[in-house]
Structure 1
Amino acid sequence: MEKPSRYLANSSTALEQLRGLIHQHESTPGTPLPTERELAERLGIGRREVRRALDVLEEEGRIWRKQGKGTFIGPAAPVAPLALQGLVQQTNMLEVMEARLQVEPGLARLAALRANPENLALMQRMLERIDNVNPDDPDLNELWDSAFHRAIAEAAGNRLMLGLFDAIDAVRREPAWHHLREMARTPAKVERYNDHHHRIMQAIRQCQPQEAFLAMREHLLDLQHALIQAIHLEDDTL
């Protein structure tokens, strides 16, 4: 496996690769993972990024930790991602946003109809993580933001749509587009995005599918607009 450069590697890169590693052992829950140091060396990513990715996987119930013993793969493995080879080179961030607008509002609607108490608790924990992120740490903000959206996709209870979400999200987190994502996340915009998250969560918690659909759509349209602005700004500087 080719190691990503340290400039491009971030917590999302670590999370994607760790999910792939966990999927390889989904039939043998309880399999121990290598240490953080070994994972960092294997993935070519810093230990901080590996630790952050493991935090997300633990919240999702994919792994469990026992002090003094190590980290182990849990019983719930993620859906295998769709084949993405070459897809990044054939698309762009605007197409990714179009795909998200077609998929994620529907997932939010289904989540409002199907989310169980465990789903709601997971989404709430993700929201609390987002709320407590240091504004000067965009890597961590993006990590928990993505995890919150994935928790909604899981709550929708449709494994095919979850697979589609994972495929789109993997492309979205392509390291080559990291600078555009950062440009679309000013402190004021992040505050607005977090407000959207709480509105989406409220609609899902109150079993309001149409409200959840519309709140998610508004959120993604805002993201799309910010991304278009970032692309135009980058073009102006060339």
Structure 2
Amino acid sequence: MTELRRGPVVPQVAGLLRQRLRRGDWRPGDRLPNEVRLAAEFGVGRSSVREAVRLLVQDGLLDVRHGSGTFVATGEPPATRDVRQLVRRARLLEVYEVRRALEVEAARLAAQRVRPEDVARLREDLRKRQDERDSDPAVFVDADLAFHRAVVELSGNALLLTLFTAAEPVLREILTDLVRHETHLPDSSPAHADLLDALERRDPDAAVAATVANLDPVLCGVRTAVTLTPLGQPE
């Protein structure tokens, strides 16, 4: 049985299915095990498997054939692939909009409440993030989210931390996919360093500005892709 992290189950099951597809456990056209077997393997309910499959269907990775089962998707017409891509980016856009609101306020509060020993821990978290930049995308994203989670924790706001914890599995999944497949992502390392510097100086305005500089380039890029990419046209 696969052991899942604490937190929302569906994004984790979706991530595990993606990993198996990437590994080639199932090839295009293969039929997946039924819901009962997958639920037993992951240690979750059948409804969680069903919702995870639905997410992968939206992204064009799986194909549900009623009465036959769930199959690994084969080739699709260009227009259909464009729709799948737009759906994925729309989901990313919604999550990123929430993330921006949450982390901007968390950075402002953290700058007011941070202690010297907290800065030392953040510096170590940032160093780990930088060390993993050329690692597997999943490893890098874990290190990146650990730094951001530490900032949210330093806000001292339990509700912000609860919201971040709820969103973290979804963020992990979509950010890993983004880092793995998007080749023109901006380097946010300077913004991360600026955020650490702002927190060390206990400057709320600078902390907010650094957080915005970190998140807005990706947010703007995704928003543009969702609203302006014509169906059936190359990006």
What TM-score does the superposition give when structure 1 sets the normalisation length?
Answer: 0.56
Match of residue 177, structure 2, among 176, 179, 186: 179
- Contact 2:100–2:212, Cα closer than 8 Å, also in 1: yes
Distance 1:202 1:118 in 2: 14
| Alignment CA distance shift 1:157-1:6 (3 Å) | closer
Give 1:8's aligned amino acid. R
Q: Residues 134-185 of structure 1, C-alpha deviation per residue, up to 9 Å, x if partnerless?
A: 525322211111110000000111111111111122222236x743343346
Cα displacement (A) at 1:227: 3.4
Paired position in structure 2 for 1:73: none
Distance 1:127 1:99 in 2: 23
Which has the greater radius of gyration?
2
**2:18 maps to 1:8:** yes
| Alignment CA distance shift 1:222-1:132 (3 Å) | same
Q: Residues 199-222 of structure 1, C-alpha deviation per residue, up to 9 Å, x if partnerless?
A: 011001100001101110121101
Q: Residues 1-41 of structure 1, C-alpha deviation per residue, up to 9 Å, x if partnerless?
A: 8774756249xxxxxxxxxxxxxxxxxxxxxxxxxxxxxxx
Over aligned residues, Cα RMSD in angstroms?
3.7
Distance 2:172 2:139 in 1: 13
Q: Percent identity?
A: 28
| Alignment CA distance shift 1:43-1:143 (3 Å) | farther
| Alignment CA distance shift 1:154-1:129 (3 Å) | same
| Alignment CA distance shift 1:164-1:134 (3 Å) | closer
Paired position in structure 1 for 2:106: 107
Total equivalences in the alignment = 163
Paired position in structure 2 for 1:148: 147
Mapping for residues 1-238 of structure 1, pairs under 5 Å:
4=13, 8-9=18-19, 92-174=91-173, 178-184=176-182, 186=184, 189=186, 192-228=187-223, 232=229, 236=233
What TM-score does the superposition give when structure 2 sets the normalisation length?
Answer: 0.57
Cα displacement (A) at 1:100: 1.1
- Contact 1:111–1:204, Cα closer than 8 Å, also in 2: yes
Q: Which structure 2 segments of 5+ residues have no match?
A: 4-12, 21-40, 44-50, 56-86
Cα displacement (A) at 1:236: 4.6
- Contact 2:106–2:155, Cα closer than 8 Å, also in 1: yes
| Alignment CA distance shift 1:157-1:198 (3 Å) | same
